[in-house]
Structure 1
């Protein structure tokens, strides 16, 4: 059996109030997606390549669905098909020189890390268990009697396993989408471990946390810190969209929620762009979901600090929080400064959301934005200036304004939802925006995010 989902559909269709009733939809899907209770697997080896015959984890399920016509989840639009052809060509081993920077190598590394989620996280729980042995018997009795402290380790382990089942589903979908064979991944993992390479625990953890930010109801408070400014800005620039479709590019799109919200405004054709294989793998999983809140994740179970209650550490989030409609959204995977070089497309808007400070060479970002914008197009920015560990150029805000104005950008004022003016004589606004935190936590990560609209 291949890892591609095999669908044998017999449709009885009739139209009523713009609904399509799909009956007798027989599908082979991963039992990891369908089975809610995974308790029967508690003692299994969770490494994917040692799972034996994966036919065992599939089942045939008959499902009856009712879907709105305008909510159909289409990953088969002409744009999506064209982009997938380009991507698979780039991922081919014959494309370019093989090495650590080859996109297929990066993709396999990320799949390796997802497949090792449980194995990379359970040692932390075991370490806390061992350290707890230093506590006196008297104190242990008190802790267990009052807060059931020993059970906390078991609960953490159990939920890490649940997250691992999700990671398995994500890997399975990725193997199908990217047309990578199971044996190729197994060999890659074996070679990596033989070479002493350790799976990247942090990047997988961050992708799970980004689910909470982008695709759960819990993430509304964080999204509301930034999205209204951007959405109000783009609507003010293009108020009449009934007969037009404007092209929007979002580099550094992460798991893609902002792009979907822009598309939902109507009149926009959105291109998300992301370089991280970890984010892209998770995005490919999310974009295929046709059912709201179909999956659960426990994004904070790997951290033991800053919790108000024990339940906050073990908090369950359901996703996606909306019915996916990607008919006007595609993802282009790759480096923003290079992946569009051969494209003839010009965009009416480029939105940089928590992005420009990720640049190795900030000037290359500015040049790429300018080159991709159509004449009269707009650059909308929102985010901080938190430069990374090895940037070639680090500009202060006033320097960015001076440099980009010299490059031909003309700044226009943004809406009040973007906050107050940063400078009395400059058309730049600022507001506090949180990023990557739990609304229940005892700590908060926030910035005085800077926003502007610049016309090319």
Structure 2
């Protein structure tokens, strides 16, 4: 059976397209079809939105007095830098159009559907999202390019070695069912699948990430994508060449046996209680408006004795209902029916001397050549559902 054409892939594709039907559920901003169209709108208008920002930069440059401009042009040819960025915006647009074309084919979206959505957005005065398409390109770097190896190497070895140990200590004859919510553009799923003996399921809410992942998995390994992901911001570059540099991805072929299930983690798996042997939350639990809902869902989806592995920070977003410190997370999770298990020194030192939670430094910044570094003391644990 060809990769990606298993019964579970075909079944999920049918369910996905049903959920995408406008007549399914209540139409509005959280409807999956609406969110898909918004993402397609964002990628479609990549050039327009980024050219508007470039025009703003050019306008700001106009405030520099003539003598200062003369020095700037003689020393660094500042206008040329802005002109080079414009050319690369057009090159990135080619990739964005390919992402849109692939998504429209995969989800069955017609050009008239998209045109109608864009017309309604313009009528309502709603601009296309400029940030999310650019962030998707940066996630390609983090997950699928050579330049993202540092960020992957900070986190993946701990996760993969722990999963290998869990498999070795399992008495199950069948592949272990493992779920990775908040999967972004999907590299960790391919790495887990490469271990063997795991049936890997990804889950992601963001339609920008989902259509990015769909595009990555559609590529011929001999024809990787090229992009210039850092031209949307002028801060923290050591050289102009760093700003303008080209990135190629993917550096390995995605494993097409991995299954992506789109949607809200707390509802996408309704009816699949006690289905998974392992859930891995990688840079995920702090994305919740209500972390308790995530904890409840993890508990519900795990089989008795199933394991929950976490690696990530506690960087709460805008308007969370609950913001727990690490010791409070541990206490709540234990109260809910989990027992923490020690995973050894490979994943870092103990955060608390009397708790089985460890920490490891993990970068998160997408651009390894930037003049800034963002790193977390990512918290690592394995908890067993009692």
Corresponding residue to 2:215 among 285, 299, 308: 285
Q: Which residue of 2 aligns with 1:75?
A: 4
Corresponding residue to 1:303 among 219, 223, 233: 233
Whole-Å separation in 2 of the counterparts to 1:439 and 1:406:
40
Q: How does 1:229-244 map to 2 (within 5 A)?
A: 229-239=158-168, 244=174
Q: Relative contact order (alpha carbons < 8 A, sep ≥ 6): 1 or 2 greater? A: 2
Pair 358,238 (structure 1): closer, same or farther in 2 beyond 3 Å: same
Aligned to 1:101, the other structure's residue is in SS state coil
Whole-Å separation in 1 of the counterparts to 2:365 and 2:344:
25
Corresponding residue to 1:167 among 76, 96, 107: 96
Shift of 1:243: 5.2
Q: Which residue of 1 aligns with 2:246?
A: 316
Q: Which moved more, 1:216-225 or 1:235-244?
A: 235-244
Q: Which residue of 1 aligns with 2:73?
A: 144
Corresponding residue to 2:340 among 396, 399, 411: 411
* TM-score, structure 2 normalization: 0.96
**CA deviation map 1:121-152 (0-9, x unaligned):** 11121122222223333333332233222110
Runs of 4+ with >6 A deviation: none
* Structure showing greater Rg: 1
* TM-score, structure 1 normalization: 0.82
Whole-Å separation in 2 of the counterparts to 1:425 and 1:161:
55
Q: Which residue of 2 aligns with 1:126?
A: 55
Shift of 1:437: 3.2
Whole-Å separation in 2 of the counterparts to 1:73 and 1:290:
15
Whole-Å separation in 2 of the counterparts to 1:153 and 1:298:
14
Q: How does 1:334-349 map to 2 (within 5 A)?
A: 334-343=263-272, 346-349=275-278
Q: Root-mean-square deviation (CA), in Å?
A: 1.6
Whole-Å separation in 2 of the counterparts to 1:77 and 1:166:
29
Aligned length: 384
Q: Residue 125 of structure 1 contacts residue 157 of structure 1 at CA under 8 Å; is this kept in 2?
A: yes
**CA deviation map 1:65-101 (0-9, x unaligned):** xxxxxxx973322211111101111110110111122
Q: Residue 210 of structure 2 contacts residue 262 of structure 2 at CA under 8 Å; is this kept in 1?
A: yes
Q: How does 1:170-319 map to 2 (within 5 A)?
A: 170-239=99-168, 244-292=174-222, 294-319=224-249
Shift of 1:202: 1.0
2:330 corresponds to 1:401: yes
Whole-Å separation in 1 of the counterparts to 2:162 and 2:234:
39
Q: Which residue of 2 aligns with 1:115?
A: 44
Runs of 5+ consecutive residues of structure 2 not aligned to the other structure: none
